[in-house]
Amino acid sequence: VLVVAFVVFLALNPLALNADEAKRVTLGDEKEPTVELWLASSLTRVFPNTKPGSTKLELLAARNGTVSFQACMRNERVWSLLVNGAIEGSESLGSQVRLVGLVPMPHFTHNTPPEDLDGLDAIPGLVPDPLLPATEFRIGPRESRSYWITLKIPADAEPGKRELRFKFILGDHKHEFELPLTLDISPFVIQPRRDFHVIHWWRGEATWDYYKTGMFEDPRWWEITRGQLKNTLAHGSDVVYVPMFFDRREVFKRPCQLLVVEEPEPGKYKFDWTEVKRFTDMCKEIGFPKFEWSHLWIYWGVEHPIRIYKKDGDNYVMLWPEDEPAFSETYLNFLRQFLPSFHEFLLEENLLADSYFHLSDEPGEGQHVINYKAARKVLHELAPWMKVMDALSNIEYGRQGLTDIPVPLVDSAQAYIDAGISHWVYYCCLPNGKWLNRFLDTPLPKIRMSGWLFYHLKAEGFLHWGYNYWHMMASENIGDPYKDSSNGDWPWIPYGDPFVVYPGKDGETLDSIRWEVFAESLQDYAILQTMGIKPDDPMFAELKSYAEFPRSENWINDAIAKILKAPAQSNSVEQE
């Protein structure tokens, strides 16, 4: 009788369990537990075949920061199950509960050892990545899923431990079960990151092609774009890309080119900066402190000018052929008229000191170096005020001072480190293997180490090409990021490389797990900087390079705890 009464009690009442094992529950008239509930950190992917974990979770958070965790469930029933969930006890904190969605990943990233892959027993298959703005859903039979819970800790929050609860509401009869967790708020207050800038290239044409909006004349496009840019800033990207020109080599019917260029007579140009100003004004309003401008020569060799369009009726046509030589009189004539107008605009808008300029993306060796030198000579003569940065890995660009800010791939950065040349870093499709990156199968602790590596290895910034590249590669055909995150180009484009956000309904920007964890890594950078820890501190002894570093969640937790629980090191709102 007592056993039966206890089972009925479990079915009808919320229950908090302190054991380390997953909580096994029964619903209604079921005789055996058929649903298991547990908690997980933000550094564990919950695949559909993931086995239940522990209910024990203690979160450590700094003030003026965020911390995330997951509330997980596994349905062992033969029927699907209606599920809902909510966080309780977080009323004085900013909290958000999102369902972790699944996307297909047919293949692993190539040339990568097993220890640098996640989902070894789940891929090919469905991978958790998009964070969906929903809490109610149906979980299938013999399936595991999770919620992603984000807590925002105010700068003036009371330090100390708080008991929170995650409530699961299961089935049509809404059986409620709770899992408790502890949030330990440190007295430490994170200060804004300084002197390390982050760029993610944003694609305006992806927005109007995916959502079927108009171009710059459409208020809805501007509204969606504002949301996307606010999202990039909130995740630590403090430099905004301004698409003054359209920097793809493919010829688009609807290129995202803010600058209106007119050619009233052959070789004579007029420039209308109205849309550029509208865009930069919006970015200032959002809070961006830095601006990045379009390249002037097309990528991969500095062999041709950037594609620049003018309107011809309702059509966009290029000012010169695709194969126009890089230093033709046609293009030099254009630059002689454009660069003074550009300079005047930057001065009028007080943007020059906070701008980054590009010459050409990813030049290589040999003739590419010669071409780059020639282009830099042109800019020295026509725009001596323009300092340039480019993604390039050959150390010669740094040694010869051909660019003001070299941005090598992470697997080429050591040459710049050894030579003592200031630099940013980037990754793009490559490198794979043991090197730092953030593909769909990159273990989350590895992604979380990004900020630690940037800090210790003294990079001065980070650049990535793929914020919302939703088109099929090298095409104006829009893709479906929920179906193919390689944009139709695996294995050359690893799954997850082209974008870190997903398009939501009505233009909403949806985060990914990778995007959230990367933002956590930038928060770690800010913690290290706020604390005043030296980049060469002994705590970084295991961080040897962008390929040799700890990949353990325990290492990250121990390092953060050492900082946030050090009483002599803690700061406060009042002190700041």
Residue 576 has pLDDT above 70, yes or no: no
CA distances from 249 to 244, 295, 321, 376 (A): 15, 11, 11, 20
Over 80: is that where the pLDDT of 505 sits? Answer: yes
Q: pLDDT at position 1, please?
A: 40
Whole-structure pTM value: 0.94
**Residue 538 above 70 pLDDT?**
yes
Q: What is the pLDDT of residues 310-325, one digit of tens each?
A: 999 989 999 999 999 9
| DSSP 3-state of 146 | strand
What is the 3-state composition of the chain as percent helix, strand, coil, each rounded to the nearest 5?
25, 25, 45
- pLDDT digit string (tens) for 51-101? 999 999 999 999 999 999 999 999 999 999 999 999 999 988 999 999 999
Task: Please report, as a single letter, which amino acid is at residue 194.
Answer: R
**Closest Cα to residue 469, out of 500, 447, 492, 495?**
500
Average the pLDDT over 402-413 and give the result: 98
Q: How far apart are CA 229 and CA 468, in angstroms?
A: 11
| Angle 411-379-246 from CA coordinates, rounded to 5° | 70
What is the C-alpha to C-alpha distance for residues 407 and 399, in angstroms, rounded to an integer?
Answer: 13
Residue 258 has pLDDT above 90, yes or no: yes
The pLDDT tens digits of the residues spanning 184-235 come to: 999 999 999 999 999 999 999 999 999 999 999 999 999 999 999 999 999 9
Taking the C-alpha atoms of residue 27 and residue 189, their distance in angstroms, rounded to an integer, is 44
What confidence score (pLDDT) does residue 29 get?
A: 79
* pLDDT confidence bin for 28, thresholds 50/70/90: confident
In this structure, what token pair is assigned to residue 277? Answer: 């100003």
Cα distance between residue 215 and residue 213, in whole Å: 7
Residues 129-142: pLDDT tens digits? 999 999 999 999 99
Q: Which residues contact 243 (CB under 8 A, 6 or more apart)?
A: 204, 256, 257, 258, 279, 294
